[in-house]
Copies of this chain bind each other. A is one copy, B any other.
Amino acid sequence: MLTDERHRIIRDRLAAEGSVLAGELATRFGVSEDTVRRDLRELAKSGQCRRVYGGAVAPAPFADAPISLRGGHAVEEKMRLASAAVALLSSGQSLFIDGGSTNAALARAIPHDLELTIATNSLSVASALSDHALVELIVLGGRFVRDLGTCVGADTLAAVAQLGADLFFLGSCGLDATRGVTAFDPAEAEVKRAMARNSAGIVVAVTDDKLATAAPYRVAGAEAIRHLVVEKTAPAAILADFQRQGAEIHFA
C-alpha cells in the first residue's frame, strides 16, 4: 500500500467521521502503529488534521470552508442575527466589516440591490461580496492569519487609516458591559480598534454564548456600541446594562 494512499484514506475518514484511531488504522492498513503515527504527524504538519492522544481529529474549520461555519451548530442563530443586522443597512452607506463567522453570514445576507461601499479584511466576507454587483468592495490586505481568516498587521492598519465608514460591523470574541468588546488576538484587536476609530457607528451582533464573556485584548468600551444585535433569548439584565450605555438593542 502506498504512503499516499494511506494519507488519502485517512483524510477521507477524517472528513466523514471527524476522527481516527491510530491502532485501528494500523490493523486496517496492515502496518505498524509507528507508521500510522508518522502518517498522522505528517498530515498534522500540513494542517490536514490535528493530532490528539490515541489518533487524530479533523482540523478546525476556518476561512471559506464549505459553509464557513466556525461555531459549528450555531449556524442558524448566526444567520438570524445576520438577517436582523441587514435591516440597519441602506443604499449609499459605507461599511467596515471584519472577520468572524457571524460577519461572514452577514455578508451573505446583504441584498444584491443595495448600493454600498464595503471595506473588509476578511477573506470569507470578501468572497461572499464578490458577486454583489452594486457593492464597491475594498479588500484590506496584509499578512493573512489562518486561524482568524483575516488580514492583520501594519499594512492592514495603514489601509484602514485611509478610510472612513458609517458603520463598523464588529465581529466580537467577547462582550461584557464593563469590559466592552474584547478579542483573543492582539493584532486582530489592533485592526478592530483602527476600524472603530474611523467609523461613525459600531454594530455588534453576538450569540448568547458570547454575552457577558471577555477575551484578553480590549477593542472598544461598551459605550461605543451603537447597535447591539442579539438573540431573542438573550438575558434582559445584561441587555439593560448595554442599553444604559447608549446601545440600541435589535432582536433577531
Interface residues in chain A, defined as those with a beta carbon under 8 Å from any beta carbon in chain B? 2-5, 8, 18-19, 21, 42, 45-48, 50, 52-55, 57, 62-65, 112-113, 121, 123, 126-127, 130-134, 136-144, 146, 149, 151, 155-156, 159, 162
Contact = CB atoms under 8 A, between A and B. Distances in A.
A63 B131 contact: yes
Number of chain copies forming the complex: 2
B112 A123 contact: no
A139 B133 contact: no
A198 to B, nearest CB: 15
26 contacts: A3-B54, A4-B19, A8-B63, A42-B113, A45-B113, A45-B134, A47-B131, A64-B127, A121-B141, A123-B126, A126-B144, A130-B146, A130-B149, A133-B146, A137-B143, A137-B144, A137-B146, A138-B141, A138-B143, A138-B144, A139-B139, A139-B144, A140-B141, A141-B155, A141-B156, A155-B162
B159 A155 contact: yes
Contact of A144 (B8, B52, B130): B130
Nearest to A144: B137
A249 B47 CA distance: 34
Nearest to A126: B123
B112 A46 contact: yes
A139 B152 CA distance: 10
Nearest to A154: B162
Nearest to A2: B54
Given A2-B53, A4-B50, A63-B127, 5 more contacts: A2-B19, A4-B19, A8-B57, A123-B127, A141-B155
A2 B55 contact: yes
Task: State the 6 A-B residue pairs at the shortest beta-carbon distance, nearest first.
Answer: A47-B133, A141-B141, A63-B130, A137-B144, A46-B112, A139-B141
